[in-house]
Amino acid sequence: MANATIENETVTNDQPCPAIFVTGTDTGVGKSIVTAAIARHLTSKGLAVGIMKPVETGVEDPTQLGADATLLKWAAQSEDADEQIAPFRYPQPLAPCQAAELAGNLVDVDTIVERFNTLRQGKDIVLIEGAGGLMVPIRGGFLMADLAARLETPLLLVTHPRLGTLNHTLLTSFTARAMQLDIAGFIINNMPQQPGLAEEAAPHLLASLASCDILGVLPETYGNDQEKVTALAAQFESLPTYQWLLMKLGLSKHPAL
């Protein structure tokens, strides 16, 4: 655990905890599931995990957490306030800039930064899940990539093994490099039990072409979202890249791990 007590708002460790910004390369790659699975795994090891979904759209009742933020909160066993976890929630399933404009409540980036800094107090790590990919606009010309830059967090890319992953993943990694964003690495999610030629070749090709480290290949899972998260959380420790993943998360020297 981080040497801190939130109740008394006293933090004895002057160094902020590690944080990482999880982004996806395409719709349906399982970014929320992977983020929640990492949170679930680290929580099971006794770590205090902060989670954040700064902007969530398609939230049926914006006075409550949306599906993604709810899953993250459950996975991390978080007791943080909903306003800290998901500061901006909108009913329309649109790009954040559109959903916010329709709701008459534009995203305030300074608020997100403030909530993020508060979440880091007393935590061992904070996981931030973006909305969509890096080029999704939050407001005006401010993109999700710009938010990652403001938060000064490295990126964890979640991608898929299907045909098209080379283009999707390389475009995302090259864009991140062009915008001078640090990439911790990428995780391939939903690898079939019996992969075809494209899926079988994806890990090697991406590792050689993406100019960033492969931090895991996660199997396809079944069931509801909580069941998928639970299944994946149990997989991490058996990954050949597990220690590398911990290092990239800034946790390689944590005594619980």
Burial (0-12, 13-18, 19+ Cβ within 10 Å), 149: middle
pLDDT of residue 211: 85
* Spatial CB neighbours of 152, under 8 Å, sequence gap ≥ 6: none
Closest CA to 242 of 172, 185, 193: 185
Amino acid sitting at position 37:
A
pLDDT of residue 143: 97
CB 188 within 8 A of CB 164: no
Q: What is the mean pLDDT of residues 223-237?
A: 97
CA distance 203 to 18: 27
Q: Is 53 a catalytic residue?
A: yes
Q: Which is the catalytic residue, given 31, 45, 53, 73?
A: 53
CA distance 97 to 57: 10
With pLDDT > 70 as the criterion, what percentage of the chain qualifies? Answer: 95
Q: Delineate the domains of the chain, giving CATH numbers in brackets.
A: 13-248 (3.40.50.300)
Token representation of residue 113? 């930064």
pLDDT of residue 5: 37
Burial (0-12, 13-18, 19+ Cβ within 10 Å), 93: exposed
**Span 70-83, pLDDT tens digits:** 999 999 999 999 99
Q: What is the mean pLDDT of residues 151-179?
A: 96
**Span 103-157, pLDDT tens digits:** 999 999 999 999 999 999 999 999 999 998 999 999 989 999 999 999 999 999 9
Helix (H, G, I), strand (E, B) or coil at 161: coil
pTM: 0.93
CA distance 21 to 92: 24
Given a cut of 90, whether residue 10 has pLDDT beyond it is no
C-alpha R_g of the chain: 17
pLDDT of residue 248: 96
The residues that bridge with 188 in the sheet, in sequence order, are 159, 217
DSSP type of residue 18: P
Band of the pLDDT at 14, cuts 50, 70, 90? low
CA distance 173 to 179: 10
Look at strands 19-24 and 10-11 and give their pairing.
unpaired
CA distance 97 to 158: 23
